[in-house]
Structure 1
Amino acid sequence: MEQGIVSPRIFNDPELYSYELDRIFARCWCFVAHESEIPMPGDYVLRNIGQDQFIVVRDEDGQIRVLFNKCTHRGSPVCRVEKGNSSHFRCPYHSWVFKNNGDWSGAPYRKKAYKKLDAAAWGLAAAPHVDSVHGLIFASLDPDAPTLDDYLGGMRWYLDALLGLNDQGMRAIGEPHRWRVPANWKSGAENFMADAYHVPSLHRSAEEVGMFPNIEAGGAGPQAGSRHVYFDEGHGMIINDGFLPPPWHRSGFPPEVADTFQLDRLAPDQQLFVDNHSATTFLIFPNLGLVRVPASPHPDAPPTVFTYLRQLQPSGPDTIVNWNWTLGWNSAPDGFNEDAYVAALSMHGPAGILEQDDTVVWGGPPTAGKSVFARKSGMRFNFQLGLDGMSDYAEDTSWAFPGRATTTALGEAPQRAFYRRWLREVSTADHAENREDGQ
């Protein structure tokens, strides 16, 4: 890693993938839903952490729970509808019933069959830690996990500046879109985190058809008003200094949206950041991305900045399921949110013009990862961009905000930090694994 070299094996190795499930997805804080998807008591959605399915539900008291979707009797799913509202969940096999807070509630012939059952011991298993920030619901399956704020570190500061601009907040517009991609989840994660280098080449067609403001002039290219900010914890982002000219806000929002922002909610340094910078993309380790860029919702419309979340959900070492949520400001006119939704769908929906580019090239690493020739020839992947003066890229020691900043985005320092965090996690067994091994 210090030399910027990565083995293709990590993108398609079943043993390493099993470590990822055990030591990353079952240990880190993972995004599961947006609060606006479950606004009322009893509302629920089905979501995955790693490859385990959970019911994300607001119980009768309004508390958000993340319940393992397996009956404690024989392991059948107790919920088979992807979203809805229910006070209870019933297993179809033997009709064991559970409240929406996970408590065991009953079973057929209860008074005859389970006279001495300890009901408190047989509820649905639940994530031991659930928390949210600006509507983003996270869960950790590790009983010893740090708090969400500690896990996010300096990224929490940026979430305030990106999603906490007024007290009305944001909401998920419509249903999340999802589709399968023959790729490894890490390819998508590192791309969302910091890969500005690919934009002028891979996504040139978006500019050519008029969907994207000029790549170099608009700040989306690696050398045009962009920089990296990243953390040793594996989180990171591309920061830009403004997409569009006045009267658009620095982050690209039109006046009718920007006028609803309440910057006095923020600390003085966060206000300074919002006045001068925004984020193009970010990644919260391991697999939650965000994109905030302008695009035209239709050929005759001016650019509209959209905000969407991307969950890069693993479904095997060589398959991911992309989940997309477009977020709209509750304070914004409906017309703006509609245009933002269309712009996001056109760029990064299942048939989005940028998405088709990305999902084609992400298929390369897992193919190389299982290649006999790649293994026998000692093939390596190059993550050296920005190392040792290789490019016009250095650490910006004058950066006044959290994180380690660079002078441009023409480098791969955040990707190297991501893989260092990945390596630390997959190399470290936890207490549960030691107990399973008899240690």
Structure 2
Amino acid sequence: MSPRELTVSVDDDRFDVPRAYFADADVWRRELEAVFRHAWLLIGHESEVPAPGDYVTRRMGLDEVVLVRSEAGELHVLLNSCTHRGTLLCKADVGNTSHFRCGYHGWTFGNDGTLRGVPRGRELYGKDFDKSQLGLRAARVDSFHGLVFATFDQELCSLPDYLGPMAFYLECILGVSPAGTDAPYGSFRFTHLGNWKLEADNLAGDGYHLRHAHRAGFEMGLMGAQAGSVEGVCVQFEHGHALRAQRTATDAEEQAFPGYPEDRWPEIATQLSPEQARMFAHSTVMHGLVFPNMAFVHTPRAGGFDDGEVDAAMMQVRLFNPLGPDETEELNWLVTPRDYPEDWKLSAFKTMQRQHGATAFFESDDLENFRRMLQVNGGRETNRLVPANFDLARDVAPFTPWFDGPGNVVGADVSEVNQRWFYRHYLEMMGADA
């Protein structure tokens, strides 16, 4: 089934997406070409490969790649496939090496991707054999506050242009320290049942499900300060990015940054622009999506634990790869200011594991709902009669945000405006009829 065969209802009265978009294998194959090939995709964090020769293996869609730091100290993202017969080169998840040698015919590549050695090369290929044309295929690579992105689309805009005004908000979290960022505990990888877009639209700005799907967590007091009186906004950006931001409702002029050491507050205010500091002060939660498949969740430390730990804000970065229409690979990282104390980082890590780890209460609740949606999405009559609906808060009451920031800022804490934005951009890339 092609996307053009799936009619999407997008008008003044309804915003419906056929359920086949979350279950059909042809749609999934089309996504890999139409969406993932034409986007900057998160690969990892620079601190995962700090020394020459350090590498980690990742995926870009279904393409196996290696993020490696060369002997010259440069970052490369290379297709993990020998240019002779296509064999998978690097089989380990993480390591350090000066070269990658193919286990099939012994071709050897430097950690910058250049072809260094071919057994009996001159004898079998002749004296005019040009190894320089047979290096590992490399993606374009760029970084943003330590986060490494890559794309194989040579015509796509630069990473700064791709992020656009979303960078204003990401820097509120990633730019609080002049020392930069760190991923002190590396990455955590797991797979789960469910279509990748369910996680994307959830993290793009779904505040509607919190009190229902995560009711137990609220009743246990695991949300701490987040459970109080708050105000929030949803923001949309070019290229399909979106976020939801919340803060404690207050008239106070003091710029407090919950979850960060008080002696660091002046530094944070200096690192950020005045409008960024105003936006970030008194923050309770911020989560969003860098289209198509990078998400982040930032929250002050949750309450409910008498464990003597320091208060520490948690910034989790996520990557979700579509292994099929019904299976998703997820990687997540805790990202912290590089120069913050180790006990602060550990407390932030424990918060992440309690709230958003693979078996934490947020993740367990959401993954169970994604699995239940998968269970019914393939049904013929279900798809015909029960499309996915995104009509919540079509008419948002006027609201003046507490800050002057870029993007399309909508004064609504609970809305599906971000989901509508995500699917409009997604459907445009897919070439769907709406």
Structures share fold, TM-score greater than 0.5: yes
Matching residue of 1:210: 221
Residue type matched to 2:337 in 1?
Answer: W
Corresponding pairs, count: 417
Matching residue of 2:368: 360
- Give the deviation of 1:299 after TM superposition: 4.0
Could you list the per-position Cα deviations for residues 315-334 of structure 1 after superposition, in whole angstroms to 9, with x for gaps in the alignment? 10111112110122222211
Contact 1:42 1:59 in 2 (8 A): yes
Cα separation, 2, equivalents of 1:260 and 1:86: 42
**Does 1:119 pair with 2:126?**
no
Out of 380, 389, 393, the residue aligned to residue 382 of structure 1 is: 389
Out of 345, 348, 351, the residue aligned to residue 343 of structure 1 is: 351
Out of 237, 253, 270, the residue aligned to residue 231 of structure 1 is: 237
Matching residue of 1:325: 333
Out of 122, 145, 152, the residue aligned to residue 141 of structure 1 is: 152
**Does 1:281 pair with 2:287?**
yes
**CA 1:276–1:338 in 2, change beyond 3 Å: closer, same or farther?**
closer
Cα separation, 1, equivalents of 2:124 and 2:305: 63
Cα separation, 1, equivalents of 2:78 and 2:266: 37
Residue type matched to 1:286 in 2?
Answer: P
Unpaired runs of 5+ residues, structure 1, are: 429-439
Percent identical residues: 31
- Give the deviation of 1:238 after TM superposition: 1.1
Matching residue of 2:3: none
Contact 1:386 1:394 in 2 (8 A): no
**CA 1:379–1:404 in 2, change beyond 3 Å: closer, same or farther?**
same
* Secondary structure at 1:89 match in 2: strand
Out of 244, 253, 257, the residue aligned to residue 259 of structure 2 is: 253
* Secondary structure at 2:216 match in 1: helix
* Secondary structure at 2:95 match in 1: strand
**CA 1:118–1:413 in 2, change beyond 3 Å: closer, same or farther?**
same
Cα separation, 1, equivalents of 2:358 and 2:283: 29
Could you list the per-position Cα deviations for residues 226-258 of structure 1 after superposition, in whole angstroms to 9, with x for gaps in the alignment? 221112421111111249999x97442233563
Contact 2:196 2:321 in 1 (8 A): yes
Contact 1:5 1:382 in 2 (8 A): yes
Contact 2:19 2:386 in 1 (8 A): yes
Matching residue of 1:176: 187
Contact 2:257 2:265 in 1 (8 A): no
* Secondary structure at 1:173 match in 2: coil
Cα separation, 2, equivalents of 1:318 and 1:243: 40
Cα separation, 2, equivalents of 1:364 and 1:299: 35
Residue type matched to 2:405 in 1?
Answer: F
Deviates more, 1:155-164 or 1:34-43: 155-164
**Does 1:91 pair with 2:102?**
yes
**CA 1:297–1:169 in 2, change beyond 3 Å: closer, same or farther?**
farther
Cα separation, 2, equivalents of 1:397 and 1:291: 21
* Secondary structure at 2:412 match in 1: coil
**CA 1:374–1:144 in 2, change beyond 3 Å: closer, same or farther?**
same
**CA 1:256–1:43 in 2, change beyond 3 Å: closer, same or farther?**
farther
Could you list the per-position Cα deviations for residues 164-206 of structure 1 after superposition, in whole angstroms to 9, with x for gaps in the alignment? 1221122112131121111100000111110011111111211
Contact 2:278 2:402 in 1 (8 A): no
Cα separation, 1, equivalents of 2:94 and 2:276: 36
Cα separation, 2, equivalents of 1:406 and 1:314: 30
Could you list the per-position Cα deviations for residues 353-385 of structure 1 after superposition, in whole angstroms to 9, with x for gaps in the alignment? 11110100012333333112213x432121000
Matching residue of 2:48: 37
Cα separation, 2, equivalents of 1:360 and 1:334: 34
Out of 38, 41, 44, the residue aligned to residue 27 of structure 1 is: 38
Matching residue of 1:295: 302
Cα separation, 1, equivalents of 2:408 and 2:294: 20
Unpaired runs of 5+ residues, structure 2, are: 1-9
Cα separation, 1, equivalents of 2:85 and 2:286: 46
Matching residue of 2:431: 427
Cα separation, 2, equivalents of 1:25 and 1:135: 22
Contact 1:177 1:325 in 2 (8 A): yes
Residue type matched to 1:344 in 2?
Answer: M
* Secondary structure at 2:324 match in 1: coil
Contact 1:165 1:265 in 2 (8 A): yes
Contact 1:238 1:281 in 2 (8 A): yes
**CA 1:272–1:413 in 2, change beyond 3 Å: closer, same or farther?**
same
Matching residue of 2:4: none
Residue type matched to 1:287 in 2?
Answer: N
Contact 2:279 2:403 in 1 (8 A): no
Contact 1:263 1:271 in 2 (8 A): yes
